[in-house]
Every structure is written in structure tokens, then in C-alpha cells.
Structure 1
Amino acid sequence: MMRITLLSTLSLLAANAVGAGAQSQTHTPPGCRAFPGDIEWPSALAWKALNLTVGGKLIAGVPLGRPCFNPGASQARCTALKEHFTELEPFTEDPVNVMSPYWQNNSCSPFLGPTGTCSLGNLASYAIKVTSAADVIAGIVFATAKNIRLTIKNTGHDFLGRSAGAGSLALWTHHLQEITFFRFSSTGYSGPAVRLGAGVDGTDLLPAAKAAGYRVVGGSCPTVGVTGGFTQGGGHSPLSAKYGLGADQVLEYDVVTALGIRTTASPTKNPALFWALRGGGAGNYAVVLSMTVKVYPDGPSAGAGFLILNDGDDTKYWKAMSAWFKHLLVLDKIPGYMTGFTMGRDFLSLAFALLPDTTSVTDITAPLQPFFDELATLNVTLAQNSAFISPSYADWYTSWAVPVAYGTNNALGGRLVPRTVVQNNLPALINVFRDIVEVSTPEIEFSVINGITVNLTTKRIGNAANPGTSAVLPAWREALFTLNFGIPFAANAPVSTLKFGQAWINEKQSKLRAVTPGGGTYMNEATFDNPNWKQDYFGSNYNALLAVKKTYDPLGLLWAHSAVGSDVSWKQRVDGRLCKV
């Protein structure tokens, strides 16, 4: 039945007139995707036909800043837009706008109106509000028939630019909101599970899991979608020290392939695709409609946090920082114990520590005491120190993770730091950390390093960590912690500043790479133009992932920056157009 629908839709679209209208003057260059303004760009009639096919769910892309450029625009509305332009929700709830300022760009920044230009820039021209597999298939058929770029967006939490694409049709999966708990049974696993639609994020999942008596591995930021880039890129979580990465939890996927075929990816059906989707990168092998993952019985969770301030004595302060990283080796040995910390020029904050399934505060504070004792010998005092028990994981999350500020106007780089580096070469690592946080340039106000410690070895989380069970970057299994370092931008920062920031981050990533051999990088917290992206993001899995890519997307319909096969299929031009390599 699905194939009949596919062929019927293709016939309908092929019958429509092609072209952008009589005013268009240029043809699509040979070997390139059609682009707005090309004679070959789909006509208004073709877009109308697509809209009918998807039941009126085709949405024209509109930059969030457009109201500030409209003739007679409301000054009050534009002022309100500026005030909220660095918040997440306007971007996560929009079909084409994305949170990264580099990919959003300021072609239509509300701070440049009302006399400047306002264009889509990197954003999709149209989006389909996906509510079913048929919507995805219609989008694939249309993009293939019309030779246009296809992108996938859920929330737009994306620093690699995978959720945006100039001249593209976006599959907006944000409204696939299924959350169904049930008992799953297969040859590999039998037990409680939950099926999650591609649009579900932590805000939706946490209360639902709590109500059902479970906890589920999801991101640290509540607005991160669980099924898409998070899990398909690996997915670290406060719960990872106990259960593993998000990718380690997946039992099966419900997908639509790039050829428009709906199918299941599991250990027994399309196993190569299943392997690739578990950590091999998002938006590159198939369009995921939902995934089924393991869930775990809920229970009390201990939380802790502290703050250290630099009193002006840099020598003393950096000795304290070295003591912290040495102590992570101690905490690493405690099953389930994770820490999320932020370090800057003048402070170290343990934003949260988590130890699930304990009713004793001492269980989470006692492991920190030797570090506090060492601080005392250095004459460093704690500015803040707290710990308490939450009755459930969701309550812990609300108390500790939700208060952490997450904004849009920043850029990130990152690195996975092996245990051996902290054990054997900590002074060199600290020197690079100082170089990152002691930034002094007119373009960058400050920089901070964020770290998450999760033990993902086979000994800790079991068979899920074994090579071959998933496409998760192998360096995760040897890492003491993953770090990202972020730089904020002013809301009205020009593109030149954004580009400077990207170059600065890549320079620092190179320095980190030099002192962390074998470390790798968590692809969801990284740069799109890292020259070592294949090794850093995919490691020894790359060639096998490329074979999966060629099998399930032989026409190269799905393309993303720094994704497997991206350098041998299409190349993005300066204007955003994709052309064959």
C-alpha cells in the first residue's frame, strides 16, 4: 500500500509544471541541486500540489526576525523579539529556525531592521509539519523528483548545521510526540521499554516517565530532542554513568529510508542500519519516526554541587583545578556517580553531581570530601556547597539540571579526555585549559569549559560498550570525561564575529587534540569545519558507516556537514547550494 502511495504521489508531482517563473534567468548548474531563483526550482503549482499531498501541512520558512523588517512593523513586537532572541523556545518551536547563531546567521537579525535586508539565508525554504510516515515519504518523493535539498529538523539544537539548509525542504518532526510505555520482548532483551516519537524532548519525557514509575536516559538540557541528534550522535546524560549513552539504550527504530520505504531497524531487521543509527550521526542514513528504548525503575537520587572562586592568586587557583581533575579519577570508580562541572578563569562550579538509588546524602558527599580536604591545604574555600536527596530522578533533574542556563548565542568545541591523559600528562592538559579560559580578544568576552564525567567501560555498563554493538565513537569507552568549551556572542554580533569564533574554537580544538591522543570528540558538541572530523567524530567506525550510507542512501539525498560520506557526495557552495563533488 505504501508503494502505491509513493508512486501515485510521484506521478502527481511529475505532472506539475517545473520552474520558478518567467522572471527567473538562470538554470541550475549541472550536478547541483535546484536553488531558489533557478528556472528548475519548483513552481508555485508544484508546492501547492505538495501541500495538498501532506494535508495542508506545508509551511513557508520565515526568519524569526522578519517582523522587525515589515513595513509599519510594531515597535513593541520588535522590541519583545529582541529581548527574547537568545532564548531557546522561539527556535525549538519553529519549523525552520535553528538555535546556532552561525547557522541562523544575521541576514534577518531583528537588530539590523527595519531598513536592512531580510532573507532566509541558511534556513529551509519550506517545511513539512510531519505527523505521519506518509508526510516523510511525500517529502522524500518531492525532493527527489525536483532535485532539491532535504533537511531534517526537530528542535534545532545543532552546532554542526545539520538542521538548516539554504534552498531546502525541511522535514519538521517536532510534532511526532508519542510516548508509550510497554513491555518489550526480543531475543536480546525482554523488559520495560518506551516508544518515543522523533519530536519528544526532555520536557515531555521526564514527567511522563516519572508518572509511569521509570527513568529514561535523556539529555542534560530539557529542550533537547531525545530521538534525533542526541541519541543518533551518542547522547550523554546524567544517567549515563549508571546505564550508558542514549545510543546504548535503543532496541529498535521505526524509519523511512532515503528511497521512501518505511521499515524497522533492529538487531534482526536491517541490522547494519540499526548499528549506524546508534551513534553514527543524525540525519544521514534514514529519517527516524520513533525509537524504542530501555527504561529503568525510578527511585531516589542524590544530588550535590559546589562553587570555588579565584581570589586573585592564580597559582593557588590552578593547583586547585589540577586537584579536581585528579579527583575525577577517584569518582570515576564509583558506579553510577556522575559530575557536571563548569570551569572558567575565575571559578569552578560543580553544577550537579548525581548518584541514583540512594537515600543517604553521605553517599554522594563522602566521595567529595578528600577533594575538599585538599582545597583546605591550598587555603581555598568553598563559596557554595550543597547536597540533598530527591525522591525521583525527575525531581533531581528539576532541582539540579533545569536551573543551568542554556542560551542560543554561543558556539561550542569539544574533546573526549582519556583517563590516561589525566593520569600521565595532566600539566599539559591544564596548560591548554588555561589557554582556553584566559581568552583575551575583542571578539570574545569570555570562555568556559563544561565537563561531564561518565564511566562507559564494558566493566561498568556491560555488553552495550562492546565494540560492534553500536556505532558510538570508541573513544567514549576510554574517556574519563567529555568536555565542551563555549564562547558567547552578543545578540547582535555580526557574521564576521561568528566566523572569528569558529576559527578560534578550531584552533583550541587542535591544541586539545595534541595533548589527548586517541581522545576523539562528541559530535553533538563540536565544529562543522574540524579538518579531523572523520577520526574525531567517528574513529575506526568510519569506513563501515560509509558502507551503510551507500547502501541505504545510494542517491545521496540526505546530506549534512561533517557527516559520514559528506565529502564524497556533495559540497556546499558559499551561497548554500549543494553540488556534486
Structure 2
Amino acid sequence: MKGLSAILSVALLAAPSLQHAAMLPPNPDKVLTPNSSNAPAGCKLLASDRGFPTNETVVKELPKAVRKQWGTLGPDWTIKATSVKDVQDAIKFAKTHNIRLSVITTGHDFHGRNNGRSGLRLDLSGMVEPIVFAPSWKEGDVLTPPATTACPAGNGSEMAMGPSLKPKKYRFFRRHGPGDEEEGEEEAEAPPASGEGSAGECAKLIRRSLLKKRHGPGEEGAETDAYNVITPVPGQQAVARVSAAIVHEVFYLAADKSNLFVMGAQHGGVSAIGGWMQGGGHNPFAPDYGMQVDQVVEMEVVTADGKFQKVSESKNPDLFWALRGGGGSTFGIVTAATVKVHPTIPIAVGRFILNSTSPKLYDSLAHFLQVGPDLRDKYGVMGYFYHMPKAFQSSLHMPGKFATLENAKAAFEPLVDDMFKMSGGTVRPQVQYTTYKTYAEWYAALQGTEEMEEAGEKFLTYYDGSDGSVPSQSQAMENPLQIVPFAMKSPQNPSRRSLHVRDLSKRDEEMEMYAMPMSRTYLDSRLVSAQDIKAIPLAQLSAALRTSFVPTVQGIAMRGFLYGGGKQAAPKADAMGLNPAWRTSTYHLIMNAVPGDARHDYDISALRRIFPRAGAYVNEAAPQTTDWKTAFWGSNYAKLETLKKRFDPDNVFFCTPCVGADMWTYDDERICRNPRYPSPAGTAAPQTLPNMQSKVGIASLPGVKGVPNALAPIIEAFMKNGTLPKTMPDFHAGNGLNEADMMAGGMGFVQAGAAGGGNMGGMDMGEGEGQMGGMEGMDMGAESEAGHSHDGKRARSLATSLW
């Protein structure tokens, strides 16, 4: 029962009744009454405002859009894009109807910018295309993947079913026929239509493959490779074209087949070209290769006017400049990019943990920070380290020519001796040395791979949803309804959820999976240069570090990254929109605690005082930073803001903290033009926390309260005494929980039929039967729980549980 206990404990954290300060799920949100309010002038529309698009309008203009869970926090509608046209349609819809547009790919966003409480969410997780590698690239070269349907799959004939933040395996099948070629707007032609297929479509394709149905080369339905393999040419710069939904782990393992590696994030479940790249793309080998924005040679982007274009140093260079460091969801939607890839390298790693209960431990941390730049320059030491109130942990590595055991020992043994002597600890740590032949081998040891998870060698981390085999922690926090059935199905091995296609039921085939946002996580960070950190006396630096670790904050820790110099520092400060602080920094220091919407009572003001010139990384920083424009973009902010006004004059892409965020005000999801723009110095970017005292936002508008989690009592009982009901509710057939309970728990997304007759809090829920508090319910019987009707007469429920 250990696995079941672990899974249910995650779900338990989602129960609103527990009021866990650090790990609350997104709270239930008010269901607004349509046509009951008027939006103030200059404001985006909310669901209660007159003029907000009706369900019939949404279904007509965005047939793929789905309604959010009843009474839960999140955008009113979500559209999962599988083509450039889908992206264009979503942007046009949000702009035409004056509603908020949120963008999500993998859901990995500490600020929660991808989880607006109104409007439309554009989900890019279906933008999956085969990766195209090439031994060289020059301006004008076109790397075009074949038109394909991508099917999430397990090993062999299995089909991965379920939402995920972790990489999925994909099997690609040729797609042909009318409409496959999309015409781009003026500047460029979009690639052939490709993307993730529906579960039903994929089940048919995989079944045909299992039956070994013959296809000619390039024939529709023929299986094709997820990537091509090339032979790198010495002296030539290899590249790869990658689509928006491809995550780092998939990219890493594909590149390895050509003896190449990719500049990428520590966490393999992050999109390779999303907000991580557009915010700069910091990576553990930046001193040798530069930031990820230094690797990009071309981007494919849809701008706020709906135009698809390819941008580079010679094609729309101003937009290319802004997209490289200006931040995601700000200047346009990047659907694909071509980036440099490099010959794979050996890597040596030195791991140790230094434990101490003495305050002197901070002296050893200060010492490490001051000698780190020298270790980098002399021994090639770079990468990750972690500091907790009573421990320091190293996962530092040495790449390329430095990847030898002799070099590693020369770097680490004196370092550990000195740190131990200064720490007040009682046991000198022993360093574990490991060498890896390739980048992919190093990554697998650091983070694990999908195959390792399937073999039971790696359990879920905080961010992971594994390979689609079990909901991620953040998804469980969104809605525990989706997690209990798995645990009941396979309590000893909850991480498996791939299905043989022969076992797929009709309702499985009609499922759609959507990217889910991670819980908001408050943290703070500084980008500190070697010059500044060496100029501070060790005792003063130690005291500032110790002050930042507030003992009352649960789970507080510092994540540190040793970078700097070399190719990271080579480009000029104004070469692109990237914060110039990245070019001069040696350390990226992040102070964080466990996730949650509640603010944490820690800060790094002491570090700000001793490092007044330090900037911060926008994706891993405090949203309440008062000098946010300078801290996140430095001297490049003024140009970025000018370009924001040029490329997005109507602010279709609103997010905060983002470039131009203070052009708007935010009050409990009421987003309005800021009459006092620009905000005065010392003012934070708009804060997006709920405001129950709002006079204009959701709290003040007509509607009914959000709904609690119907499974909370079951989960709490299990955690208290280990008991579960003899039979678990069947969330599909409507057994066990009545309609009110299902609505209370949140049965998933609902796509409203154009002719649907029911209405719940103003939301068309299809042919509902029965009443619930004066509002018509939704038919959740065996025939309609996942019914897909092309004539629009029946609602489609995209339930988040699978069993």
C-alpha cells in the first residue's frame, strides 16, 4: 500500500478542508451569472459581462474549444492547438471578443501566468511534430517535417493515456488529404498540418500498425520516424527544427541518436522552445556554449494580428530580437524553432552532501560562492548545488576536456576539506565521482528517463506526471478525482497507466488530454557576478545568506547554479532582448519554499542590499519585485516595451510579470487599461492573487460559489485509518456519486453542444436532466459521460479520471 499511500497523500493535499498553507490546490472559483454586469470602459470581459461570447458563439468559432470544470479556477474555455491555424483562430477569437488569452504548453510556470481565471486558454501541448535534424543551416533553408498525426504511446503496442507534464513517447503516422497544407499569411507559409491526434484516431492508427497493414512509402497512415538521424560534419554547425510541444527529454534522447546534444533545462519535462527559451534559456553548460537564446537561428511565430511568419536575424529582426529574452506569451506564439545542436560530450560529476547543525554552515556556503568562479575557470566546474538550513549538496559537473576523474578530484577534494572545516560539522563528506560518456547518459542519471520510470527505477518528482502513466502532482492538486482510480487499479505500481490498444474502451478513445498548470510557487532570485561576490567580506556574505533562510518557512532551500564567463558572457548586452545581467553573472541563486498560492514570509532583501547591481531571472523570481523592469530586463526594457506596443498594440498577450504588464491593472481578474501607466518606480507588476474585497472583480460580481472536492472525505478517511470504500465511484458511468457530487468534484472539461438545452450558472452543459439548486444539471449517464456528437446536440465530457 506504500504506492497508494503516496498517491493519496498527494491527493489529500488538494482537499480544501485541510487548509494547508503551502500546498492548497487552485481554489474553487465563483460561477458568474451571464449578462448580469457591464465591463468598465477599457477592460477585458468576464463571463458575467454583457458581450461575453456565448457558448454557441464559442462552439461556432472554435469548434475544438472545451469548457472548464464547473466552479473551478481557470480560464472559461480551453482550445488545444494541433496546427498553426488553431493558434491563429484562438488569437483572433480572444482579440475579437476582448477576452483574456492565457498560453500553456507544459504547465511549468512558477508565476501561474498560464492559469488565468477567465477567458480562453491556448494549449500548445498538441503541437507535436517530428524533429528534423540537419548537418548545417543557412538563411533561407527550410526544415519541413512530414505531415503527421502524433500518438502518445508506451512500449510496443501500448498507448499512453493521460495528461502529463513529463515527456511522452510518440508514434508518428503520415497524414495526407485536403486541408493538410495550411496557407500562411503574408510573410511565410506554415508547415504541413501536424499535431497530436485524438485518442480514438490514435487507437485506430495503432491497431492498424499492430495488424501490420501494409502501407507504401509516404502513404497515409504509414508510420514514420519521430526524428531523423544525421552524421554531423566536422566544421559545420548542426541544427534541429523542433515544435512547441517537444520537451527537453524527448529532444535530448533524439539528438543522442546522431551523437549530438542540445542546450536544455535541468528538468526534462519543460518545452524546449517555450517560456524557458524565450526568457533566456539558462542551462548547465552556458559557459561553453552560451544561453539557449544564443542557439536559436530561426523562429516560427504567430503574432497578435494573426499572421504566421518566420523570424531571424534577417527576417523581421526586431521581433527576433524581442523573442530572444523578452519572455514568453508577450510578443507572439512561437510554434516551432530551429536551434543549434552540438557534438555530444563526456561529463564528470562530483556529488557530496555536507551536514551541519551549526550556523557556521553558512560560512562554508559563502566560501564556496567565493571560490566557485576559480573552480569553473581552472577545472571546468559548473552546474547545480543546493543549500538547506542544515545541509549543502553538490551536483556540480565538469564537461568536455575537464571530464576526467583526476581533474574532478583535484577540484573537489580541497574544496570539501575547506568547507568541512568551516561548517562546524562532525563528519567530512565523501565525494562520489561519476563519469558519463555522453550528455544523454548524464541526463538519465540526473533526472531519469521514461524507460526508467516504466521499469520502476524512478518515482515521480514534484514536477513530473511521469510518462502519462499517472497524473502529475499539480494535476492531483487540481482535482483528486483523477488520481484515486489509478491507485485502486494498481496500488503496488501506481506509475503504470499505459493501455494495450485492444483493451481501449469507447470512452477511452473519446478522451482528450490537456496540459495542466503547476501550482503557483513563490520564490526569489538574484543573478550575481563573480566580481561582486568576491568583493564582499566572507562574514558579511555569510550573514546575508543566513538571514535569507527564515526558519519558519516550510521547505525553504536555495537552489544555486554556477555559470558565467566564456560564451555566456560573449554577446553584447544589447545583442538581443535578454536581461544583460545574464552576461555578467556567475551565479543564479534561487530561494524557494514549497508551492502554494499563499505568500511566503521569506525574502532575499539582505542579498539585494549587498548586491545592488544584481538582476533576476523573470521565470524564477518574486512577482512582487518592485524594481521588476530593471531586475528582469535591465537596460533592454525600454526597447522591449516599444516593440511590445508595435507588435501587440491591443495587448492580446497579457501576462504578469511580463514586458508591458503595467499597461494594465489587475483586480480579482478584472483586467483594465492602466490610466496611470507607466507605473511609478518602486511599484510591483500587477499581482494576480484573488481579492475578496474587490469592487470590480469576480468577488463583486453576481454568481454562485465554487464547489468543494467531493472526494475529500474518502481521501481523509484513508489517510487517517487506511480504509477505503468497498467500491470506488465510477466517474464515467455515473455510479457511486450522484450528479451533484460529480459536479462538486469537477468532472473535467465539458464541451457545450451548439444546441445544448441545459444551463448551469449560465454555462451550457448539454441535454441536462434534473435540477440542482435551480440550475439544470448535466446528463452523466453511461451513454453521455464521454459522448462525442458531431451534430452538437450532446455535451462532451472530457473526464479527468480514466477508470
The normalised TM-score by structure 2 is 0.57
The Cα of 1:236 is off from its aligned counterpart by 1.2
- Asked if residue 427 in structure 1 is aligned to residue 539 in structure 2, the reply is yes
- Asked if residue 61 in structure 1 is aligned to residue 68 in structure 2, the reply is yes
Query: Aligned pair in 2 of structure 1 residues 564, 21: CA closer, same or farther (>3 Å)?
Result: closer
Residue equivalent to 1:488: 594
Name the aligned partner's letter for residue 579 of structure 1. C
The Cα of 1:23 is off from its aligned counterpart by 5.5
Residue equivalent to 1:524: 619
Name the aligned partner's letter for residue 540 of structure 2. A
Q: 1:181 aligns with which of 97, 110, 133?
A: 133
Query: Aligned pair in 2 of structure 1 residues 299, 42: CA closer, same or farther (>3 Å)?
Result: same
Maintained 8 Å contact 2:99/2:119: yes
What CA distance in whole angstroms lies between the structure 2 residues aligned with 1:532 and 1:253? 30
Name the aligned partner's letter for residue 96 of structure 2. A
What CA distance in whole angstroms lies between the structure 2 residues aligned with 1:59 and 1:480? 45
The Cα of 1:335 is off from its aligned counterpart by 7.4
Query: Aligned pair in 2 of structure 1 residues 145, 368: CA closer, same or farther (>3 Å)?
Result: same
What CA distance in whole angstroms lies between the structure 1 residues aligned with 2:241 and 2:430? 40
What CA distance in whole angstroms lies between the structure 2 residues aligned with 1:383 and 1:336? 22
> Structure 1, residues 85-105: CA drift from partner, whole Å, max 9, x if none?
xxxxxxxxxxxxxxxxxxxxx
The Cα of 1:199 is off from its aligned counterpart by 1.1
Maintained 8 Å contact 1:161/1:560: no
- Note the residue ranges of structure 2 that are not aligned, 5 or more in a row: 1-30, 141-234, 449-457, 464-473, 475-518, 675-803
- Asked if residue 296 in structure 1 is aligned to residue 248 in structure 2, the reply is no
- Asked if residue 415 in structure 1 is aligned to residue 526 in structure 2, the reply is yes
Question: Looking at CA atoms only, which structure, 1 or 2, has the larger radius of gyration?
Answer: 2
- Asked if residue 351 in structure 1 is aligned to residue 351 in structure 2, the reply is no
Name the aligned partner's letter for residue 244 of structure 1. G
Residue equivalent to 1:445: 554
Residue equivalent to 1:540: 635
Query: Aligned pair in 2 of structure 1 residues 359, 539: CA closer, same or farther (>3 Å)?
Result: closer
Name the aligned partner's letter for residue 546 of structure 2. R
> Structure 1, residues 511-541: CA drift from partner, whole Å, max 9, x if none?
3221112110011101222111101000000
What CA distance in whole angstroms lies between the structure 1 residues aligned with 2:557 and 2:630? 25
- Asked if residue 119 in structure 1 is aligned to residue 165 in structure 2, the reply is no
- Asked if residue 363 in structure 1 is aligned to residue 407 in structure 2, the reply is yes
Query: Pairwise mapping of residues 194-273 of structure 1 onto structure 2 (< 5 A)?
Result: 194-273=240-319
- Asked if residue 393 in structure 1 is aligned to residue 404 in structure 2, the reply is no
What CA distance in whole angstroms lies between the structure 1 residues aligned with 2:358 and 2:38? 65
Percent identity at matched positions? Answer: 28
Over aligned residue pairs, what C-alpha RMSD do you find? 2.4
Query: Pairwise mapping of residues 15-34 of structure 1 onto structure 2 (< 5 A)?
Result: 24-34=35-45
The Cα of 1:356 is off from its aligned counterpart by 3.2
The Cα of 1:349 is off from its aligned counterpart by 0.2
Residue equivalent to 1:42: 53
Maintained 8 Å contact 2:39/2:49: yes
Query: Aligned pair in 2 of structure 1 residues 152, 278: CA closer, same or farther (>3 Å)?
Result: same
Maintained 8 Å contact 2:38/2:49: yes
Query: Aligned pair in 2 of structure 1 residues 193, 187: CA closer, same or farther (>3 Å)?
Result: same
What CA distance in whole angstroms lies between the structure 2 residues aligned with 1:155 and 1:187? 30
More helix by share: 1
The Cα of 1:223 is off from its aligned counterpart by 1.1
Q: Secondary structure at the match of 2:114?
A: coil
Name the aligned partner's letter for residue 445 of structure 1. Q
What CA distance in whole angstroms lies between the structure 1 residues aligned with 2:437 and 2:525? 33
Residue equivalent to 1:51: 62
Q: 2:667 aligns with which of 573, 577, 581?
A: 573
What CA distance in whole angstroms lies between the structure 2 residues aligned with 1:376 and 1:530? 35
- Asked if residue 465 in structure 1 is aligned to residue 571 in structure 2, the reply is yes
Maintained 8 Å contact 2:666/2:672: yes
What CA distance in whole angstroms lies between the structure 1 residues aligned with 2:569 and 2:366? 33
The Cα of 1:561 is off from its aligned counterpart by 0.3
The normalised TM-score by structure 1 is 0.78
The Cα of 1:314 is off from its aligned counterpart by 2.6
Q: 2:88 aligns with which of 137, 152, 159?
A: 137
> Structure 1, residues 18-47: CA drift from partner, whole Å, max 9, x if none?
xx9996322222211111122211111111
> Structure 1, residues 479-519: CA drift from partner, whole Å, max 9, x if none?
12101111125xxx7x5xx13x1xx34xx233322111211
Name the aligned partner's letter for residue 538 of structure 1. W
Maintained 8 Å contact 1:21/1:43: no
Maintained 8 Å contact 1:241/1:335: no
Query: Pairwise mapping of residues 302-321 of structure 1 onto structure 2 (< 5 A)?
Result: 302-310=348-356, 312-315=357-360, 317-321=361-365
Name the aligned partner's letter for residue 42 of structure 1. P
What CA distance in whole angstroms lies between the structure 1 residues aligned with 2:258 and 2:72? 42
Q: Secondary structure at the match of 1:420?
A: helix
Q: Which has the higher contact order (CA 8 A, sep 6+)?
A: 2
The Cα of 1:319 is off from its aligned counterpart by 2.9
Query: Aligned pair in 2 of structure 1 residues 363, 335: CA closer, same or farther (>3 Å)?
Result: closer
- For these two proteins, the number of residue pairs brought into alignment is 481
Maintained 8 Å contact 2:300/2:337: yes
Residue equivalent to 2:580: 474
Q: Secondary structure at the match of 1:196?
A: strand
What CA distance in whole angstroms lies between the structure 2 residues aligned with 1:219 and 1:22? 43
Maintained 8 Å contact 1:28/1:34: yes
- Note the residue ranges of structure 1 that are not aligned, 5 or more in a row: 1-19, 63-117
Residue equivalent to 2:548: 436
Maintained 8 Å contact 2:265/2:281: yes
Residue equivalent to 2:200: none
Name the aligned partner's letter for residue 580 of structure 1. R
- Asked if residue 557 in structure 1 is aligned to residue 652 in structure 2, the reply is yes
Maintained 8 Å contact 1:416/1:475: yes
What CA distance in whole angstroms lies between the structure 2 residues aligned with 1:171 and 1:346? 43
Farther-moved stretch of structure 1 (364-373 vs 41-50): 364-373
The Cα of 1:237 is off from its aligned counterpart by 1.1
